[in-house]
């Protein structure tokens, strides 16, 4: 039989259904890989005992004929999802040792479908970053390396541990969250598929909040079909999240299994031809357009005039919401407490010691833009720009069914590069942030390798709550590309 850790979620599901393998065997094989590649630092907390117990329960369910959609599938969970009885840190010192007494809705949905948790993955602190370098628990290493160059590369961020775990075959799938590109950019950097659903598709309840009007949980996997399988289980209305959409969950898996795109209008946004994008990425994009055309789709040039303003507007909206959300970390009810001579000093000491540099920076930006006298000039202005960005997309979708763009302006970079100037780091998300600002679903699909042998992704952006068309287009591109490269040594 094939090596269990090489199988996709769909293949593992078939092997489990036909009793070729037990959940216990599947989980043990993956736990072995996690141990083997521990040096990548993809996990903050490994949960092998819990995984074995869940696998045993899965085998028992299957024996009773009660197997769910993901029964026996090992998954890694971004350490931003609260997991009952298992430390949840958000990769921050301020939450180190925090043990939630409840389970996030998304993870609860996954366990209800039979999935098995193998551990909690590393991320940028409070999901703020594009490199995983801001984690209190140290950066994650990308399993990919440039050809003939042994330097460690970043896996992207913020969901870098989840992406690296899938790319190194420690797990067939994992969860992430995406606020400005935190699922799609690491998927591109690690050569896997990452899907950000429409805002409201997956419940945010029990997910540590960063920017509440943007945050959205979503899956990573090695195939489009596998991300659809995960999303199928993760999605759904949740009364505990008032922004969760009261809509039925469509058959995402059927959409991903139907790469028929004859006549589908693929929008190519003119404004995404941005100076500074690596020429190879521009070439890859053209190639992707040609492939879609060959598969029967119709490319349409569209305009999103406010694209260049999405990034600076995001860096008002996201820090403003972050500064409000992170006000709760005051050393009183959970997390770190650093004593002070009075209550105010205890707050200041706790927050000063508990938050890392990038988080402090964003709290300060957010506090400033929301402070008296500046609200209209910054926050209101950014929300107006946001309205224009959403309008751009709505107008573009009158002429096309889905958009195709690059995911990131570069391939993975080395740890330490781009660290001097925060704005240079922020530019990494220039292709992912506009869809976030408009709340649209988007997916990154591996589309080729650059001249150094590093993976590059292309992004599809869909209409609100039309993940199905996006999945169909992504499956068609995946089929045309036939991406089979894997990081050497993994």
- Phi, psi (deg, nearest 5) at residue 17: -65, -35
Our CB check for other proteins shows the closer of 285 and 378 to be: 378
d(CA 193, CA 442): 11
Q: Which stretch binds other proteins (CB under 8 A): 24-32, 62-70, 173-181, 417-425?
A: 417-425
DSSP letter string over 109-160? HHHHTT-EEEEEE--SGGG--SSSTT-TT-PPPPS---TT----B---SSSH
Q: Which stretch binds other proteins (CB under 8 A): 45-53, 148-156, 256-264, 366-374?
A: 366-374
Residue 161 corresponds to which tokens in the numbers above?
A: 């541990």
End-to-end CA distance of the chain: 19
* 361: contact with other proteins by CB under 8 A: yes
d(CA 280, CA 131): 21
- Phi, psi (deg, nearest 5) at residue 364: -65, -45
Q: Which stretch binds other proteins (CB under 8 A): 120-128, 169-177, 295-303, 352-360?
A: 352-360
The alpha carbon of residue 475 and the mean position of all alpha carbons in its chain are separated, in whole angstroms, by: 18
d(CA 364, CA 373): 16
Q: Binder to other proteins among 23, 76, 115, 363 (CB under 8 A)? A: 363
Q: Binder to other proteins among 11, 213, 303, 469 (CB under 8 A)? A: 213
* 99: contact with other proteins by CB under 8 A: yes
Asked if 479 contacts 187 with a C-beta cutoff of 8 angstroms, the reply is no
Q: Binder to other proteins among 13, 143, 439, 462 (CB under 8 A)? A: 439
Write the binding mask 275 to 314 for other proteins: x where contact by CB under 8 A, - elsewhere. -------------------------------x-xx--xx-
Positions marked catalytic:
78, 158, 182
* 239: contact with other proteins by CB under 8 A: yes
* 352: contact with other proteins by CB under 8 A: yes
Our CB check for other proteins shows the closer of 220 and 355 to be: 355
Our CB check for other proteins shows the closer of 339 and 482 to be: 339
Using CB under 8 A as the binding criterion, the count of chain residues that bind other proteins stands at 69
d(CA 176, CA 195): 9
Instruction: Write down the least CB distance from residue 244 to other proteins, Å.
Output: 8
d(CA 397, CA 400): 5
Residue 146 corresponds to which tokens in the numbers above?
A: 């440039």
Residues that bind other proteins (CB under 8 A): 98-99, 101-102, 199-200, 213, 239, 242-243, 245-246, 306, 308-309, 312-313, 315-316, 323, 327, 330-337, 339-344, 346-349, 351-353, 355, 360-361, 363-365, 367-368, 371, 378, 380-388, 390, 421-423, 437-439, 464
């Amino acid at each position: 039989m094939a090596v269990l850790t090489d199988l996709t979620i769909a293949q593992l599901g078939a092997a489990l259904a036909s009793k070729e393998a037990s959940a216990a065997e599947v989980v043990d094989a993956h736990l072995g890989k996690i141990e083997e590649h521990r040096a990548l630092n993809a996990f903050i907390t490994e949960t092998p005992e819990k995984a074995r117990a869940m696998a045993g329960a899965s085998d028992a369910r299957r024996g009773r004929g009660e197997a769910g959609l993901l029964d026996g599938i090992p998954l890694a969970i971004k350490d931003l999802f609260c997991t009952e009885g298992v430390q949840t840190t958000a990769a921050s010192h301020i939450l180190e040792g925090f043990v939630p007494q409840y389970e996030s809705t998304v993870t609860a949905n996954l366990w209800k479908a039979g999935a098995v948790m193998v551990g909690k993955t590393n991320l940028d602190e409070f999901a703020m970053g594009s490199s995983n370098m801001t984690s209190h628990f140290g950066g994650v290493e990308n399993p990919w390396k440039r050809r003939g160059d042994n330097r460690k590369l970043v896996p992207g961020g913020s969901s870098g541990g989840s992406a690296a775990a899938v790319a190194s075959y420690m797990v067939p799938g994992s969860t992430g969250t995406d606020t400005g590109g935190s699922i799609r950019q690491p998927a591109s950097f690690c050569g896997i598929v990452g899907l950000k659903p429409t805002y409201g598709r997956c419940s945010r309840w029990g997910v540590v909040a960063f920017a509440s009007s943007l945050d959205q949980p979503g899956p990573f996997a090695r195939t489009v079909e596998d991300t659809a399988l995960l999303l199928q289980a993760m999605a759904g209305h949740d009364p505990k999240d008032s922004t969760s959409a009261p809509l039925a969950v469509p058959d995402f898996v059927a959409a991903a299994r139907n790469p028929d795109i004859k006549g589908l209008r693929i929008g190519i946004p003119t404004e995404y031809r941005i100076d500074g994008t690596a020429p190879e990425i521009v070439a890859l994009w053209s190639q992707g357009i040609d492939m879609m055309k060959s598969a029967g789709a119709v490319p349409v040039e569209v305009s999103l005039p406010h694209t260049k303003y999405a990034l600076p507007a995001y860096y008002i909206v996201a820090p403003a919401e972050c500064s409000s959300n992170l006000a709760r970390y005051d050393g009183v009810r959970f997390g770190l407490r650093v004593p002070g001579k009075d209550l105010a000093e205890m707050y200041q000491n706790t927050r000063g010691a508990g938050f890392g540099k990038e988080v402090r920076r964003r709290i300060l930006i957010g506090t400033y833009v929301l402070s008296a006298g500046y609200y209209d000039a910054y926050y209101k202005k950014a929300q107006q720009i946001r309205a224009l960005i959403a309008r751009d997309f709505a107008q573009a979708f009158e002429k096309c069914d889905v958009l195709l763009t690059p995911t990131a302006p570069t391939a993975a970079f080395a740890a330490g590069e781009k660290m001097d100037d925060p704005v240079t780091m922020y530019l990494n998300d220039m292709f992912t942030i506009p869809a976030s600002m408009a709340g649209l679903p988007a997916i990154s699909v591996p589309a080729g390798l650059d001249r150094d042998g590093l993976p590059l992704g292309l992004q599809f952006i869909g209409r609100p709550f039309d993940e199905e068309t996006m999945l169909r287009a992504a499956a068609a591109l995946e089929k045309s590309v036939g991406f089979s490269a894997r990081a050497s040594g993994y």
